[in-house]
Amino acid sequence: MWLYLKIFIIFNLFISLSFADIINIRFGEYKEKDRIVFDLTDKRKFRVFTLRDPDRLVIDIYGEKSIKNIKLPKNYKYRVGKHHWGIRVVIEQPFVISRIKSFSLPNPFRIVVDVYKSGIKKKQVPHNIIYDDADKKIVVVDAGHGGHDPGAIGFLGLKEKTVNLIIAKKVAERLERDGRFKVILTRKDDRFIPLHKRAQIALKNRADLFISIHADAAPKHRRAYARGTHIFAISSRAAYAKKRQIIRDRDYARLVFGTDIDSLPLRRILADIAIDVTMSESIMFSRILAREIAKNMGREVKWRGIKRAGFAVLKTPGIPSVLIEVGFITNPKEAVKLASPEFQDKFADALYKAIVKYFFGEEKYRKLARKE
């Protein structure tokens, strides 16, 4: 049960200008809320609040004498009380009130009360909805290395390219199952793909997010204790270099924007926007991801966004991109984890949750991530 039962009172104070005595009450039903609109002939002082046991919504309108039309649904129980100061409308909801929002609109003056239903969980994934391909978020999942490039060689000969591919596929599986994503894997098997090609796959598919999965190796003297997950986003220096490339190289600009842009000033403006998007969104996604991994797995996560120069795969103007070093393959304990399906599943779950939060999470959550 989604317990968000907050009782709060909103006082909206408006100066009562005149005494008209006719109002209408209209009703509109939306997916997450019911909207009740009070049409008034003039500006009124009003207040909206809720009471518990049973849950009811109270709307006091000062200076108002009567109500002309009430159009509320049949299952809405309500009563209107006349007082010396005005009228009080009490609505007993057929459901529990989870949250209300009220505001007024001018010309003609209206009081709007939005009642959010607790019956619908905000975070619920609507499984029964089939998403149009055009509405799907395009996520490119890149398994680092492959083919003749094994990546780091870990404890007992465990190869980074193998671990990367397994986790990438698990993430892809979860995203596919969700229905809201179109997933593109840069490689589905053990093959070599040059770095710039991987970034190109993201650009050509006009991806909404690019995730590159790797495992880290520590130098010999640090092998025993180097552990944890590291997340990288593009560095400002690398971003600046990309911006220059977009401005100077018309062919590259075509790849980035999907269309030829002849005008140099326009390329400058668009390059600015694209780089801004990549930097700020990559950082935001990194933070959401770091939190999900820490929360779901209790893993130590280091976010090293600005510190390191850009990896080739992170250079995707206009697309948020992160590179994740899942763990240290050279550390015996970590290598055992990286090779275990249980750990791989949990990691893929955390990644999937972060992606969902990033795209569909509440704005509040995104703002929080921005502030940290």
Cβ–Cβ under 8 Å, residues 349 and 171: no
Nearer CB in complex with Zn ion: 20/312: 312
Torsion angles phi and psi, residue 58, rounded to 5: -120, 130
63 or 151: CB nearest Zn ion: 151
Chain centroid to CA 285: how far? 8
Which of 362, 49, 317, 344 is closest to 213 using CA atoms? Answer: 344
DSSP state, residue 361: S
Closest CB to Zn ion among residues 102, 235: 235
State the minimum distance, in angstroms, from the CB of residue 252 to Zn ion. 25
Binding map of Zn ion across residues 135-164, x = CB under 5 A, - = no contact: ---------x------x-------------
Q: Are β-strands 181-185 and 137-143 bridged in parallel, bridged antiparallel, or unpaired?
A: parallel
The footprint of Zn ion on residues 256-285 (CB under 5 A) is none
Residues 178-217 binding Zn ion (CB under 5 A) are 214
Nearer to Zn ion, 324 or 369 (CB): 324
Which residue's CB is nearer to Zn ion, number 152 or number 356?
Answer: 152
Nearest-approach distance from CB 261 to Zn ion, in angstroms: 34
- Tell me: does residue 44 bind Zn ion (CB under 5 A): no
CB of 311 to Zn ion, least distance (A): 9
| Residues contacting 197, CB < 8 A, separation 6+ | 186
Q: How far is the CB of 350 from Zn ion (least distance, A)?
A: 19
**Residue 160: CB minimum distance to Zn ion, A:** 5
- Distance, in Å, from the CA atom of 143 to the CA atom of 164, rounded to the nearest integer, reads 5
Packed helices 160-178 and 341-360: angle between N→C axes, nearest 10 degrees: 50
Residue number, 144 or 305, with CB nearest to Zn ion? 144
Strand stretches in 71-177, DSSP E: 77-83, 86-92, 97-105, 110-117, 137-143
One-character DSSP codes across 285-298: HHHHHHHHHHHHH-
By beta-carbon distance, which residue lies closest to Zn ion?
214
Give how many residues touch Zn ion by CB under 5 A.
3
Q: In angstroms, what is the minimal distance from the CB of 35 to Zn ion?
A: 52
- For residue 210, give both structure tokens: 């690019």
Q: Which is nearer to Zn ion, 143 or 274 (CB)?
A: 143
Pattern 211-230, binding to Zn ion, x per CB under 5 A?
Answer: ---x----------------
Token pair 């698990």: residue? 170
The footprint of Zn ion (CB under 5 A) covers: 144, 151, 214
